[in-house]
Amino acid sequence: MALLRHTTSETKPRSALTVNAAKTCQPVGAMYAALGIHRCLPHSHGSQGCCAYHRSALTRHYKEPIMAATSSFTEGSSVFGGQSNLLAAINTIFTTYDPDVIAVHTTCLSETIGDDIPQIIAKAKDKGHVPDGKLVIHANTPSYVGSHVTGFSNMVKGMVDYLAEADDLKAATFNVIPGWVEPSDMRELKRMMALLEVEPILFPDTSDVLDAPLTGDREFYPRGGTSIAALRKTGRSRHTFALGAACSAAGAQALSEKCRVPYTTLDLPIGLQATDRFVDAVRRTAGVEVPLLLQDERGRLVDLISDMHQYLYRKRVAVVGDPDHVVALSEFLTDLDMRPVYVVTGSPGKSFEERLHDRLQGRVPEVKVAQGAQADMLLLHQWIKQDPVDLIVGNTYCKYIARDEDIPFVRFGFPILDRMGHSYLPGVGYMGGLRVLLQILDAFLQRKDRDAPEESFELVM
């Protein structure tokens, strides 16, 4: 806090220094994606410290214990490579924990050494460490490039590379790659597909894994997650909907190249227009009607938007988070007649600014956009000091800026370390849009109550 209180409004060109990064490391995303496979044990090929960090980053957000194994690199492995550690780990994991699949992701150290994971997996099979019917998949996740978003995308692509099976005999299923969203969002996407009477294969799927109910029974592997059979079948699906270009497009493209499954890349269905586009894409591709229930949900969202418009009109907002989140959120905020004037993502990646401007359609000409290593929380804070905003939307790290500058704050994205609800209630779809809008309205109305002089302190808003 003391550090932030000394933040000045003067920005200086920086080429190497990052202060309070607006991203985290690749393996965190790979681990989250791997947890969305049924009976999968994620495995971090690196030091214990890396694995402890990845697990704690996810545990703090999802408030669930995160299971994962590690190659436990020592000085020896750092010099000679981690092959013997990974071989021993694969043997131990299958013998002791009996997963259906181990999903290995690499770390900075193993990538720097240059460990050849496919070769090590082949050797593990030769040595009989991989029992019949069991699988080992992998994704390269060097953390000195990309971010947790890249790691998620790489592991999704790994699922396709290892598991999807091509077949000319097409199934009736439609793949949905949901991107990095909450377990509640994955459940909501499945509910929407069910309402549309379309059979989805959602992968990965962390619902009933990271929001599993407390039953009193201990299940080492929760009942949720995409099954191996379903992942194999993705190669026979009629179409893939890749939600969020940064997280999902690479997997969809790999599936198209490997199994000739056509795909459509869409924004995360956060807010009115993005959800409309998702529903419409499913409707047209699958040749189905949009049911009244879904139309009514949309109507309720539109009703709330028009009823509460006076609290939203022209409010200046700072948005920070992952590329797929902030693109969709910024469009939603603009549709609410708010002005996302600062949009920041620490995750590198192609076409972010282009996608953002495409969604804003010139409606916020003053918008300032930053992406990459120097697009950090310091820069966001400095911009806010130069020209304040009425609201901040982003992850928990924004709370310091919100407190220092006394700005209403809505938590959205990853990580949220100090509040609950995000993994239980959706942020996608029309119902998710309703929830996000209510959070924004609550933030404004609570501020209004706090600051209102006695004579205008209202019972009814």
Task: Determine the Cα–Cα distance for residues 211 and 198; give it in Å rounded to an integer.
Answer: 24
Please, which of residues 138-167 interact with ligand SF4 by CB under 6 A? 143
Interface stretch with ligand SF4, choices 46-54, 112-120, 162-170, 399-407 (CB under 6 A): 46-54
Count of chain residues binding ligand SF4 (CB under 6 A): 8
> Based on CB atoms, which residue is closest to ligand SF4, 107 or 240?
107
Among 50, 193, 228, 338, binds ligand SF4 (CB under 6 A): 50
Please, which of residues 78-137 interact with ligand SF4 by CB under 6 A? 107-108
Cis peptide before 291 (omega within 30 of 0): no
**Min. distance of Cβ 71 from ligand SF4 in angstroms?**
12
**Min. distance of Cβ 69 from ligand SF4 in angstroms?**
15
Interface stretch with ligand SF4, choices 45-53, 117-125, 296-304, 345-353 (CB under 6 A): 45-53
> Based on CB atoms, which residue is closest to ligand SF4, 77 or 234?
77
In terms of phi and psi (left: phi > 0; alpha: psi -120 to 50; beta: otherwise), the region of 276 is: alpha
> Based on CB atoms, which residue is closest to ligand SF4, 108 or 434?
108
Q: Are 433 and 341 in contact (CB under 8 A)?
A: no
Among 7, 22, 23, 27, binds ligand SF4 (CB under 6 A): 27
Task: Determine the Cα–Cα distance for residues 349 and 219; give it in Å rounded to an integer.
Answer: 38
> Based on CB atoms, which residue is closest to ligand SF4, 8 or 48?
48
Task: Determine the Cα–Cα distance for residues 253 and 268; give it in Å rounded to an integer.
Answer: 17
Among 20, 39, 53, 208, binds ligand SF4 (CB under 6 A): 53
Residue 25 in the binding site for ligand SF4 (CB under 6 A) = yes
**Min. distance of Cβ 210 from ligand SF4 in angstroms?**
20
**Min. distance of Cβ 346 from ligand SF4 in angstroms?**
13
**Min. distance of Cβ 53 from ligand SF4 in angstroms?**
4
Residue 347 in the binding site for ligand SF4 (CB under 6 A) = no
- What angle (nearest 5°) sits at the alpha carbon of residue 33, between those of residues 30 and 37? 130
Residue 31 in the binding site for ligand SF4 (CB under 6 A) = no
**For residue 58, which of 205, 210, 171 has the smallest C-alpha distance?**
210
Applying CB under 6 A, the residues found at the interface with ligand SF4 are: 25, 27, 46, 50, 53, 107-108, 143
